Structure 1
């Protein structure tokens, strides 16, 4: 295995541990789950903080989410595209929520050797991908695609925390609002 493949395998084994056990998981536990000797970890990474930093950078990397959203761009059905985007975003937020909570509560200083994670930049990239996904339908909206994308992402994020709506209804609320079809009808004169 190349050094880069070894690093990737260790990161892949570390990520579910960080989600399940938090940032204070032991290097011994990581080595067990990675199927390597503990010393192998420290030949691949200078220290545990560098491993955690690389794993967090991998988890928060927006590129796979953006690629998944862009993969449905060719479908002509707007609702299908948006419902697929909602599933992708929901999975990302659910997967990373334990990491965010762990980061907030740990007090652990993570020294980064990986690219620095900028949540605003990541969110902007994801929002741009959703806006691009619906750009061809811009004439159908009262609002610009970027605003619709931001509303959708906000609803997915908030819904992930409180589960107010079933996942498949988020798109309906964004596109149709909260009025029932009967309430939208003009009253007879």
Structure 2
């Protein structure tokens, strides 16, 4: 008995586009930009030629998938949910946990993004996402501005810089930097303070 591929119902172009992007994102996590159109078609349950009915090139599909995968909205919503009445250290700890988790989850996608030539809309989306994340972090930190010797925006930049380097850099060690440790590093530094009154 012949094993036939299950037929996928016809979709409108925008629905087909969204379905192909949804099928591509997990493959980017696994294979990076080296994912093949054959793998994408198989994951989406369509013929390989179907991809080119809605995307001009494999690269355009990969770029759209990277943009979708790196959508900051879930992280922005979680940052917005942090209670601004909590002490600064608690807010910063929770924010660091969220940023660490986002960077760790998207490490392979970010590596894929770096391999792509991000131009036009893709580049604009990436810049917009970074700005939105920075602004959301600044908003979490702002109620404690009078406790800091740097502006909330500068502290947000330092947190993003540290989390990014810790996730993607050659000296990173994400397992040893919890949100609490990261907040302490930013707020307390590394010196042991003895006998302070």
TM bucket by the smaller chain?
Answer: 0.7 to 0.9
Q: Equivalent residues in 2 for 1:90-101 (5 A)?
A: 90-101=100-111
Q: Does 1:76 align with 2:102?
A: no
Q: Deviations over 1:157-183 (max 9, x none)?
A: 122131164223101111222223x42
Residue 185 of structure 1 corresponds to which residue in structure 2? Answer: 196
Q: TM-score, normalised by structure 1?
A: 0.78
Q: Write the distance in 2 (CA, Å) between the matches of 1:49 and 1:98.
A: 16
Conservation of the 8 A alpha-carbon contact between 1:49 and 1:110: no
Quote the Cα distance in structure 1 between the aligned partners of 2:89 and 2:98. Answer: 14
Partner of 1:38: 48
Deviation track 1:100-120 (CA, whole Å, cap 9, x = no partner) reads 434555xx66786xx222444
SS of structure 2 residue aligned to 1:151: helix
Deviation, 1:184, is 6.2
Distance 1:70 1:40 in 2: 40
Q: Is the 8 A contact 2:100 2:163 kept in 1?
A: yes
Question: 1:52 Cα shift?
Answer: 0.9
Structure 1: runs of 5+ lacking an equivalent = none
| Deviation of the 1:74 alpha carbon | 4.3
Q: Does 1:148 align with 2:155?
A: yes
**Are residue 170 (structure 1) and residue 170 (structure 2) matched?**
no
CA distance in 2, matches of 1:167, 1:37: 45
| Farther off after superposition, 126-135 or 162-171 | 162-171
Residue ranges of structure 2 left out of the alignment (5+ in a row) = 1-10
Q: 2:164 aligns with which of 157, 169, 183?
A: 157
| Structure 1 SS opposite 2:194 | helix
Task: Select between 80-89 and 146-155 the one with higher mean Cα deviation.
Answer: 80-89
Secondary structure of the 2:92 match is: helix
| Contact 2:84–2:143 (Cα < 8 Å) also in 1 | no
CA offsets 1:106-152 (integer angstroms, 9 cap, x no match): xx66786xx22244443333112111111111112122111111111
